[in-house]
Chain A
Amino acid sequence: MSRTDGQSFDAIVIGSGFGGAVATCRLAQAGLRVCLLERGRRFGAGDFPRPPMPSAYPDERSGAGLSWAVDRGLYDIRSLGAMQVVQAAGFGGGSLVYASVHMRAPLDAFEARGDAPGWPTDGPDAITHDTLDGWYRLAAHMLDAKPAPTAWAKSKHLAAWADAEGRGGHVFAPNLAVNFEGSATVEIHDPGETSAPPGRSHGFVSGRTNARGRPQGRCVGCGHCDLGCRYHAKNTLDLNYLAAAADAGATIRTEAEVTGVARGGERFEVTWTDHRFGRARRASADAVFVCAGAVNTTELLLRSWAELTGEAPDAERRDHPGGRFGGNGDSIGVVFDTDEPVDAGLGPTITSALLYHRPPTEARDLDGGWLMVQDGGLPTALLPLLDLLGYRLPRADGAPLDGLGWLRALVEPLSAGVQATLPATVRDLRARLDRERVAWTERGAVLATDSLVARRGWLEPGRFAVDWLARESLAGLTAPDRIGALVGSLLGGFDGAADRRAILLAMGRDRADLRLELDARGHLVALARPHDDHRLYQLQERLMNDLARAAGGALRVNPLWGMLRRPITVHPHGGCPMGSALAAEVRAGVRPDGVVDRYGEVYAAPGLYVLDAAAFPAAIGANPSATILALAERNIERFIRRVGSARGDALAEWRAPEYAAAQREAPEEPLFAVEERLAAEPSPPPRHDPIGVAFTERLEGYFAAADAPDRSAFATDPPVDACLDAERRGLAGGAAHRLGLELDCATPDLEAMLASRAHTLSVTGWAEVGDGRYAVTGTMSVLVPVDTSTRALVYDLRYEAPDGEHTLYGRKVIRDDPGLDAIVDLSTAFCVRRTPRGAELGVLRVHLSDFIDLQLPSIRVTGGAPRASEAPDDARLVADAWYLSRFARFFLGGVLQIYGGRLGEALAAGGAGLVGLMHPGARRPTHGPGSERAR
């Protein structure tokens, strides 16, 4: 028996995705003793999970598990705060579920963009298209990537829509790593794979044996690429690179999840959990290649960093892991109710791509960017919900409930017996929702959403789902993980005929400026920089909206983005970005500007390599698998040659055995032709249909004459004590000193407002002074950043009183002072009013009851793209809720950024903490107007 426990290897590779498969294969072919550790299972053709049909046997499912979190299944969906990541767990890594798009990086992908750290493009070890060309050819050869022979219906549709929008020449068919050859006869499958027995309808479509002797079927166009190919038509890594690795004698361990990498003298000690036996195991090696995917590679390095380098990981240091993390600008859109049937389910998941490239003309050019929109099959991200959507809660008499059964299965109180019949994924969702619902109810904020729901009349029977969505989406504004919001928006999404639905997958070059860190509880989180405006996603949405219009349908974007501004990605990259210095130079004293060098070697731990997308210093924009493969090929050859040089043997000249053959033929990269076309004539900008938001706010304040600083002095440092003093005097002075304001605040273009720094809304309304009532005009600027811990809400208003024009300049300062000051800050504006009589100071306050009863329910959506078909009523409400929550997210999100921890503490303390938050007696004026208000 070949036991790995305690064994010693030349190299250990962690992860069997695009990086790890190359490393394992080449190390084994070079004759080195290599051990590959993969946390996921092996998936035979028949093992790929398929969503279950409604069934009297809820335990039944087809294939192995869906969710890594639930039963170590295929999909690992990680919610990291500022980013959701969908990744695969299995032998073959992401290739098991990717759409097989094999695309080189865009022409200028490796060039520097602005002052952001980028790829090392100088020196003999530069990374450029020229230096990578041979490796790209090798990767394409290994994966047998080539143009698809068929034009599928959905590709033609995308081209037609693009054409209608004046983008006809910008669509191309990418090369696919898919087998389109062989017979289509349903025949007995190859041994060793799970499949149906003879005589039954499911069969493995017999194709051919590939270059590695592994049987592969022919693509039947079932559109399930991202659920795992049950025909082995996708040229997944287990059928080529990993098969070659196994044939060359690599030791392969699946269901082996690495828990740590440590130094053991000159060597590395790798420990892992053997999930089959629930046992910890270890092995040692001279070199370790971490290829666990950008998220997991970075997480493993963060957790092992102290062991490896003797230093705790430091977020401030560029040579420590965590930085330059991004999602390659991924976003998803669904077009509903297209004029013609799209048949999005027919053909490989991705068959064509629309390129958009327009160099920005200025820093805040909303039209500038590089992005692609590809036709999609089934969005991978929605997978965990398929169990749910297919499930019908049984009634007592056994009959399935109505179409909302799945929703009720999720949210209704159920007996333990019925709960036991739920699919595991649904139980998991229920448990998470319950936890969050309890937490949210404790926060008391359900008050506000209840009020909103009641005002809008959403509590009528039959509107249950919309009500629930509203709660969930608003609740989701602060909760870290709102599956409910996703589900709710799907409810709005899954109307209309299934074949009139198109999936659009967008990607592009995001700024890769997220940071992965371990939080205080040791959980991995992705942190976004403040004021990140996500212009790329907005541009993608506009472009997709144009396509939807051309298709005669309506667009919904990824609800997590739409509602929570949390992008979801299937292409995470960065976290261990490469610097420009070579490891040897760093050892000689050069200051490192990244985590790994341009060959993937970790500066701080020589012998440890990162060979996956974690090493990307910047987003490339295109589907990244080909680039990961090419870089891994390049880097592993260098490693093998260095081993050879050190030993003085033939490995010093080693080259991949397929290299020469691969150079002879290579598929053309269709992306480049379109890029050149767009270099000559940039893409026309997409249309812009602004969505507006409006709400009503009521304030009340008392003013008294005082010395007022001039406006700029007031803006930088409002005289808080003087204002409070003036408020006291005004209060004592009675009604003549009172100012009541009822303001209608609106912005016609939410996106532009959010994108701008000042976030200015226009204001109209009424001022009540004494017995008089006067029209008010002016502006309100929301969350103007003052410094990193302070933001301001600025009112700049004027009205015409009998004695002449009054101007009012008010400022709410939102700052995290000691104490629970959130509500006070948010509801308190320190003001200076200038009248012909002279300057007055005072305080304007928003009363909590007004906020709940008036302001929250008054938030509404205005404008928007004209719809080709009138959406159903509920769907319209749902769509509106998106935009509302988008605004609310921005607002509350900004506030929470400042109050974050303290608010959390108060909430954690439950009701008492919340009361303290709303009535922080110590900081409240003892005779403020709020205390006298009787309702």
Chain B
Amino acid sequence: MSGPAKYVQPLPTLEERWLVPADLAAPTLCLRRVSPLGGRPVLLVHGLSAQSNTFEINQRPGGDLARALVARGATVWLLDYRGSSRPAVLARLRPAAAADPGAFCGRAAAEHDIGRAVREVVEASPGFDRVDVVAHCVGAGLTALALSLDPSLPIGGLVLGTLGLFYRAPLVRQVVIDSHLAEYFAADVTEPWLDPWRDWRASTRAYRRLDAAEAVWRRIGVGALLPRPEGTEHFLRLSFIFGEPYRPARMPALDADRATIAAAFGPLSTPLMRDIAAWQRAGHAIACHHPGADAFELDAAPFVERDVTLITGRHNRLWHPDSMRTMHGWLLDHGADPRRLRHWVVPGYGHQDLLWAPTAGRDVYPLIERGLGWAPGAVAW
């Protein structure tokens, strides 16, 4: 085996369902089942500008999380929602975004995508009234937001990777975020169809300033240095805006293999990114661009009632470990039972390597499995 296929080993798709989110008219969500029905349903939710195959990648070929869960006997469902870069999903998102850009944002993705997918999986799993969810990065943030907005979501065990409701960025990136550079660069280099906010930007003072700045930047030639949006450079752009999603030192092989990166990271969803930037500035998920944003209060109760596992890497440079610490303290404050709320800051790990590192099967996956109620050690790694 060679090339990206060495690291991305898609499991056979046993079933694929295209779903219509509640706020859109066309099917844009894709649920993919990769193991037989009958086991405990587990839904895997990927991060921003990644796709569901992020759970099928590992530097130890075949050592990925999806396979680990399948080996445990779980019925694993992989979700591509509107933060996905999967080409088939993008093809469907394009017209939907063009038709209603206003709905195409973070809160919409949380309310309408995650919720829809969770209920669909429960419906498709006879004998189960709840689904366990393992979510990573922005997918985890959106899942947490979805649960906070709708405590009745039939989620059982919940494993949140690197993000919850609180967004704490490393200092260096905070500068990028505070100065609105993230939105600026994202918008600048993204295909127009993914920037349905051009008009809105033009009408906003901050963005008019940015537009003026853009002209200056172009004149002094900095624009030429900006990464271009094709190929693996989506990944470069992500790195530029957010910092590298993994520690290169840990993952040399994958790092060298740009095609794998290209297969995992695609174009950005600009409105989603705009909301995430706003959430970072606020420090927590907010109902930005929605009516009643001021009165918006996040609800801890649905988390307190469930088994929740928070996992991040000590060296996470994408989302500071304090994102999870803050969530942990908030849940304890609201009465979470320490025996049902687990919090792991894994030494030696960063962000993406929590899923992709060759040692993740030894160090990280058991923590996820334990969060879902499996006893440790049943499967040898």
Give chain A's interface residues, CB within 8 Å of chain B.
1-3, 41-42, 44, 46-47, 57, 59-60, 62, 64-65, 71, 91, 188, 190-200, 202, 252-255, 276-278, 420, 424
The answer on a CB contact under 8 Å between B347 and A42 is no
Cα of A71 to Cα of B322 in the assembled complex, Å: 10
**Chain B residues, Cβ within 8 Å of A47:** 325, 345
A196 x B333 contact (CB < 8 A): no
Contact pick for A254, options B247, B315, B320, B333, CB 8 Å: B333
Contact call A197/B328, Cβ cutoff below 8 A: no
Question: Are B247 and A253 neighbours in the complex by a CB distance under 8 Å?
Answer: no
Bits for B314-330, please: 1 = Cβ < 8 Å to A, else 0.
Answer: 11010010100110111
B171 and A424 within 8 A (CB): yes
> Which chain A positions have C-beta within 8 A of B322?
64-65, 71
| Alpha-carbon distance between A676 and B171 when the two chains are bound, in angstroms | 56
How many B residues have CB within 8 A of the partner chain? 45
Chain A CB within 8 A of B188 CB: no
Bound-complex Cα distance A103 to B335 (A): 34
Query: Do A42 and B329 have beta carbons less than 8 Å apart?
Result: yes
Contacts of A198 in B (CB 8 A): 363, 366, 376
* B332 interfacial contact with A, CB 8 Å: yes
Instruction: Please name 16 further chain A to chain B contacts, defined as beta carbons within 8 Å, in addition to the given A194-B344, A198-B376, A255-B330, sorted by A numbering.
Output: A2-B334, A3-B297, A46-B345, A47-B345, A57-B317, A60-B314, A60-B315, A64-B322, A188-B376, A190-B338, A194-B343, A194-B345, A200-B348, A255-B326, A276-B283, A277-B298
B26, CB-defined interface residue at 8 Å: no
Do residues B332 and A1 form an inter-chain contact, with CB atoms below 8 A? no
Q: Does B191 contact A (CB under 8 A)?
A: no
Is the Cβ of B364 less than 8 Å from the Cβ of A197?
Answer: yes
* B334 to chain A: closest residue by CB: A2
Q: Check: B117 CB closer than 8 A to any chain A CB.
A: no
Q: CA separation between A41 and B343, bound complex, in Å?
A: 15
* Contact among A42, A57, A62 for B332, CB-based, below 8 A: A42
B69 surroundings in chain A (CB, below 8 A): none
A64 to B322, CA, bound (A): 7
- Give the nearest-CB partner of B148 in chain A: A1
Task: Report how far A91 CA is from B297 CA in the complex, Å.
Answer: 24
Bound together, the chains give a CA A198 to CA B346 distance in angstroms of 10
Partner of B299, one of A1, A195, A276: A1
Chain B residues with CB below 8 A from A278, complex form = 282-283
Instruction: List 10 A-B residue pairs with CB atoms under 8 Å apart, sorted by A's residue number.
Output: A1-B297, A3-B297, A44-B328, A192-B343, A193-B338, A194-B343, A196-B347, A252-B333, A278-B282, A420-B172
CB distance from B360 to the nearest CB of A (A): 10
Please tell me if the beta carbons of B325 and A2 are within 8 angstroms of each other in the complex: no
Q: Answer yes or no: B39 CB below 8 A from chain A CBs.
A: no
- Once bound together, how far apart are the Cα atoms of A277 and B283, in whole Å? 7
Q: Which residues of A contact B301 (CB under 8 A)?
A: 1-2
Flag whether B198 is at the interface (Cβ < 8 A).
Answer: no
A741 vs chain B, min Cβ distance (A): 59
Contact A192 B341 (CB under 8 A): yes
Query: Across the interface, do A59 and B170 meet the contact criterion of CB distance under 8 Å?
Result: yes
Residue B254 interfacial (CB < 8 Å): no
Q: Is B60 an interface residue (CB 8 A)?
A: no
Smallest CB separation, B88 vs chain A (Å): 36
| Contact, CB under 8 Å: B346 / A1 | no
A-B contact count (CB 8 A): 99
Contact B346 A277 (CB under 8 A): no
How distant is the Cα of A144 from the Cα of B307 in the complex, in angstroms? Answer: 32
Could you tell me the distance between the alpha carbons of A252 and B315 in the complex, rounded to whole angstroms? 30
User: Nearest A residue to B312 by beta-carbon distance?
Assistant: A194
| Least distance between B32 CB and chain A CB atoms (Å) | 29
Contact A1 B325 (CB under 8 A): no
Q: How far is the CB of A370 from chain B (nearest CB, A)?
A: 41
Contacts of B77 in A (CB 8 A): none
- Supposing A191-B338, A192-B341, A194-B343 touch, asked if A42 and B314 sit within 8 A by C-beta, the answer is no
Known contacts A57-B317, A59-B171; is-contact A276 B166 (Cβ 8 Å): yes
Q: Are B314 and A62 in contact (CB under 8 A)?
A: yes
| B325-A64 in contact (CB<8A) | yes
The 3 closest A-B pairs by CB, nearest first: A192-B338, A59-B170, A1-B301
Contact A191 B342 (CB under 8 A): yes
* C-alpha gap A60/B282 in the complex (Å): 22
Q: A191-B338, A276-B166, A278-B282 are in contact. Are A196 and B329 (CB under 8 A)?
A: no
Report whether A59 and B172 are in contact in the complex, using a CB–CB cutoff of 8 Å.
yes
Please report the C-alpha to C-alpha distance between residue A671 and residue B263 in the assembled complex, in whole angstroms. Answer: 70
Bound together, the chains give a CA A199 to CA B380 distance in angstroms of 13
Set B284, B315, B344: member contacting A197, Cβ < 8 A: B344
Chain B residues, Cβ within 8 Å of A193? 338, 343
* Least Cβ–Cβ distance between A256 and chain B, in angstroms: 8
Are A200 and B347 touching (Cβ within 8 A)? yes
Residues on A with beta carbons closer than 8 Å to the beta carbon of B300: 1
CA distance A199 to B363 in the complex (A): 7
- The answer, yes or no, to whether B219 is at the interface (CB within 8 Å) is no
Q: Nearest Cβ in chain B — how far from A905, in angstroms?
A: 36
B347 to chain A: closest residue by CB: A196
Q: Scan B359-381; emit 1 where CB is below 8 A from any A CB, else 0.
A: 00011101100000000100000
Contact of B330 with A199 in the complex, beta carbons under 8 Å: no
Would you give the shortest CB distance from B208 to chain A, in whole angstroms? 26
**What's the nearest-Cβ distance from chain B to residue A770, in Å?**
71
User: What residues of B have a CB within 8 angstroms of the CB of A200 in the complex?
Assistant: 347-348, 363
B133 to chain A, nearest CB (A): 19
Q: Does B205 contact A (CB under 8 A)?
A: no
Provide the residues of chain B in CB contact with A202, threshold 8 Å: 347
Closest residue to B337 on the A side, CB-wise?
A192
Q: Kindly name the residue among A2, A191, A196, A202 whose own CB sees the greatest number of chain B CB atoms within 10 A.
A: A191
Q: In the complex, what distance in Å separates the CA atom of A351 from the CA atom of B262? A: 59
Indicate with 1 or 0, residue by residue over B276-304, a CB within 8 angstroms of chain A CB atoms.
Answer: 00000011100000000000011111000
Asked if B339 is at the interface of the complex by the 8 Å CB criterion, the answer is yes
| Residue among B172, B301, B326, B363 facing the most chain A CB atoms (10 A cut-off) | B326
Contact B347 A41 (CB under 8 A): no
Contacts of A64 in B (CB 8 A): 322, 325
- CB-defined contacts of A1 to chain B, threshold 8 Å: 297, 299-301, 334
Contacts of B325 in A (CB 8 A): 41, 47, 64, 194
Q: How far is the CB of B28 from chain A (nearest CB, A)?
A: 31
Q: How far is the CA of A424 from the CA of B335 in the complex (A)?
A: 33
Nearest chain A CB to B338's CB is how many angstroms away?
Answer: 3
Closest-by-CB residue of B relative to A71 is: B322
Residue numbers in A under 8 Å from B299 (CB-CB):
1
A420 CB to nearest B CB, Å? 6
Q: Which of A191, A276, A424 contacts B284 (CB 8 A)?
A: A276
- Interchain CA distance A331-B301 in the complex, whole Å: 48
Q: Report Cα–Cα, A460/B332, bound state, in Å.
A: 58
Against A, the Cβ 8 Å flags (1 = close, 0 = not) of B160-176 are 00000010001110010
**Smallest CB separation, A9 vs chain B (Å):** 15
Q: Are B330 and A44 in contact (CB under 8 A)?
A: no
How far is it, in angstroms, between the C-alpha of A197 and the C-alpha of B283 when the chains are bound? 28
- Taken together as a complex, chains A and B put the C-alpha atoms of A192 and B345 apart, in Å, by 11
CA distance A64 to B320 in the complex (A): 10
A199: chain B residues within 8 A (beta carbon): 362-363
Residues of B within 8 A of A420 (CB): 172, 175
The CB with the most chain B CB atoms within 10 A, among A60, A190, A199, A424, is that of A60
The CA-CA distance from A276 to B339 in the complex, in Å, is: 23
Question: Could you tell me the distance between the alpha carbons of A47 and B364 in the complex, rounded to whole angstroms?
Answer: 19
Whole-angstrom distance between the alpha carbons of A59 and B350 in the complex?
Answer: 12
CB distance from A238 to the nearest CB of B (A): 10
Residues on the A chain within 8 Å of B346, using CB: 196-197
Q: How far is it, in angstroms, between the C-alpha of A254 and the C-alpha of B329 when the chains are bound? A: 7
Beta-carbon nearest neighbor of B175 in chain A: A420
Smallest CB separation, A802 vs chain B (Å): 76
> Could you say which of B328, B362, B367 contacts A42, with CB atoms under 8 Å apart?
B328
Q: Is the CB of B333 within 8 A of A253?
A: yes
Across the interface, which residues of B come within 8 angstroms of A424, CB to CB?
A: 171
How far is A64 from B327 in the complex, measured between Cα atoms in Å? 13
Knowing A44-B343, A200-B363, A424-B171, say if A277 contacts B284 (CB, 8 Å).
Answer: yes
The closest CB in chain A to the CB of B300 belongs to: A1
